Amino acid sequence: MTVSDPSTVQFLENMPQAASGPPLQRALMGTRHFLAEEYRVLASKVASLATGRFTTIGIVSAVPGEGKTTVALGLAAALARTSSQRVLLLEADLHQPALERYLGLPRVDGVSEWLLGRSTSVPVRTISPPGFAVITAGREALPRPELIGSDRMGALLGACQLNFGFLVVDCPPLGPLADAVAIQDLIDGFLLVVRARRAPREVIQHSVSRLRPGSIQGVVFNDRPHLLPGAYRYSRLYRYGLGRDRRH
């Protein structure tokens, strides 16, 4: 796919900011919470696939409420801690953006304003610790969903790929919208987040069928707290199926 020149994208990098959102999100930024260790394992598995060109990683779910944004946050934080590469978390769910709320950040322009041609630069904020950068959805709703797969989006992702070693993209759910389908040609593949006892199997299968064969590089099984002894009310257990071996 032909995209605009990534050199046309200007990043406006701000001073580091500390996450001040809800306790679960703050816990993901730390190192002592048991979830941080779970995400470290996930980051290790993702990094092992990077040699096969899996560095622009879309996080997607079949329907809303599966926990994909939390997974995107946890993965970005863990990659920032365990990898020598720079890590960027980009919010591409422009219909229901949540990153600024989760991280306790003020609203600023972002992906929407860039796609609409109303901004000449894209604000990049660094969450420190753990040290990953974030580009949020922006202030405006996106009136034309096809823009998510446009040349302008390609230029933005291309610029991000030139400046960061890992790019984690928080994508819209597959079911209700076509946005994640439109962006699939611009990324290396998806991690599918599946929440226990939520979307029926048939809904998940239908949603995944909208993607190219081989687009799903792995599955993150979410929200099975009874499998983790001693877990308290924020308990979540993430199980992974990545690469060729899907048994673990």
Tokens representing residue 174 in the block: 């597959």
- What gap in Å lies between CA 42 and CA 166, rounded to an integer? 14
Strand 216-222, strand 239-242: pairing? antiparallel
All structural domains of the chain: 6-242 (3.40.50.300)
Helix axes 68-82, 34-49, angle to 10 degrees: 80
Tokens representing residue 86 in the block: 């720079």
Q: The pTM is what?
A: 0.87
Locate tokens 């605009």: which residue? Answer: 4
- Ordered strands of the 239-242 beta sheet: 10-13, 121-127, 132-135, 87-91, 166-170, 56-61, 189-195, 216-222, 239-242
Position 124, amino acid: V
Let me know the angle formed at the C-alpha of 17 by 16 and 23, rounded to the nearest 5 degrees. 145
Helices (H), the chain: 23-29, 34-49, 68-82, 99-103, 111-115, 151-163, 179-183, 201-208
Tokens representing residue 220 in the block: 């993150």
Per-residue pLDDT of the chain (248 residues; tens, 9 = 90+): 334 689 889 999 877 888 888 876 777 777 767 778 889 999 999 998 877 788 999 999 999 999 999 999 999 999 999 999 999 999 999 989 999 999 999 999 999 999 999 988 999 999 988 999 999 999 998 888 788 999 999 999 999 999 999 999 999 999 866 778 889 999 999 999 998 877 889 999 999 999 999 999 999 988 765 444 443 333 333 444 554 433 33
